[in-house]
Amino acid sequence: MKPVIFGLSGPTLTADEAALFRAADPLGYILFARNCVDRAQMCALTDSLRDLSGRADLPILIDQEGGRVSRMKPPVWPDFPAPAAFAKLYDRAPSSAIAAAKANAQALGMMLAEVGVTVDALPLLDVGQPDMTGAIGDRSFGADPMRVAALGRATLDGLAAAGVVGIVKHMPGHGRATVDSHLELPRVTAPAEALEHDMAPFATLSGAPMGMTAHLVFDAWDAERPATLSPTVIRDIIRGRIGFDGLLMTDDIDMKALTGTPADKAAAAIAAGCDAVLDCWARLDEMHAIADRLEEIAPASRARLDRAMAAVGTVSTVPMAELVATRDRLLALT
């Protein structure tokens, strides 16, 4: 198994993709809107990926956060609120906000599990700042670390209740970035003492099954390399100070915050201490180059993967409509 998560080009596997994936045996796959047509098509696609890998617990990821980051869209699938909606309710009624976030995540997880998706790239634990880039914006649970951790925990618990694994992101915190890492490399100049504030939700939820890195340079820790490629940040901050021992994947290595060839970036991320590389755009030549460059997954990384996926498949006994009704009743309190 190669420590990489690949994207797919369309609603079905192409022959070239199937040949590459059969040979490389990537850790998992990630789906985007281009891969999500309807329920029958998604079930057939996810079944084909499991058949190809021979793994019933295959990680099949999606970014289904609610709000503007939603790959499965109406009219086939319902809209879900952005995370900021729960932060707003928390101002008025913290317990109700936590209950609403859990019900929302459980309903969301049921929707994903129905079509064979096993991992959701949610929740964001990025603590908001006044000048935070709009790329985060309403995807954040707010500016208070305790609130972010509480709503993040509720989201992880709700997803788990539907048999879906959550990913905490973007470690060790994206809230101080003032530019979009999809387009350029953010640099955080805050001192280490201030960054304790940003790390707090990740430390609180350090037992999360999966985590995702941030493509940010933190001058206080490593002024030369973004967190994704920094052995110092991964070893001393994410694994050490935060205490995270789940499966750690990169954010998409195609983002413009990182420079170099896809294979070089992938190899550098694994060398820095990431367990897996996320490569989203299904460019066949780049996927071949990454697969050729990477060694087999390390035993410690495989153990983290197995732990993370152990609970997949739990069946929720609460009807999705009931969960949505509970969420909406609570959100109406705002």
* Residue 251 annotated among the catalytic residues of the structure: yes
pLDDT in tens, the chain (334 residues): 999 999 999 999 999 999 999 999 999 999 999 999 999 999 999 999 999 999 999 999 999 999 999 999 999 999 999 999 999 999 999 999 999 999 999 999 999 999 999 999 999 999 999 888 888 889 999 999 999 999 999 999 999 999 999 999 999 999 998 888 898 899 999 999 999 999 999 999 999 999 999 999 999 999 999 999 999 999 999 999 999 999 999 999 998 889 999 999 999 999 999 999 999 999 999 999 999 999 999 999 999 999 999 978 777 789 999 999 999 999 999 8
Task: Say how far apart CA 64 and CA 167 lie, in whole Å.
Answer: 11
DSSP helix/strand/coil, 156: helix
Q: Would you tell me how many other CB atoms lie within 10 Å of the CB of residue 67?
A: 15
Q: How many CB atoms lie within 10 A of CB 271?
A: 10
At residue 113, the pLDDT reads 96
Q: Is 65 helix (H, G, I), strand (E, B) or coil?
A: strand
pLDDT of 153: 98
155 in Cβ contact with 82 (< 8 Å)? no
Q: How far apart are CA 267 and CA 265, in angstroms?
A: 6
What count of other Cβ atoms lies within 10 Å of the Cβ of residue 321?
A: 9
Q: What is the C-alpha to C-alpha distance for residues 236 and 231, in angstroms, rounded to an integer?
A: 8
Asked whether the beta carbons of 51 and 13 are under 8 A apart, the reply is no
174 as an active site residue: the answer is no
Peptide bond into 130 cis (omega under 30): no
What pLDDT, on a 0 to 100 scale, did the predictor assign at position 308? Answer: 97
Which residue is catalytic, options 25, 157, 180, 182?
182
Q: Where are the domains of the chain?
A: 2-331
Of these residues, 120, 251, 252, 275, which one is catalytic? 251
User: Which residue type occupies 290?
Assistant: I
Question: Cα-flanking dihedrals φ and ψ of residue 124, to 5°?
Answer: -75, 130
Neighbours of 278 (CB within 10 A): 27
Superfamily of domain 2-331: Glycoside hydrolase, family 3, N-terminal domain (3.20.20.300)
Per the DSSP assignment, residues forming a β-bridge with 70 are: 64
What is the value of pTM for the model shown?
Answer: 0.96
- For residue 86 the two structure tokens come to 């729960």
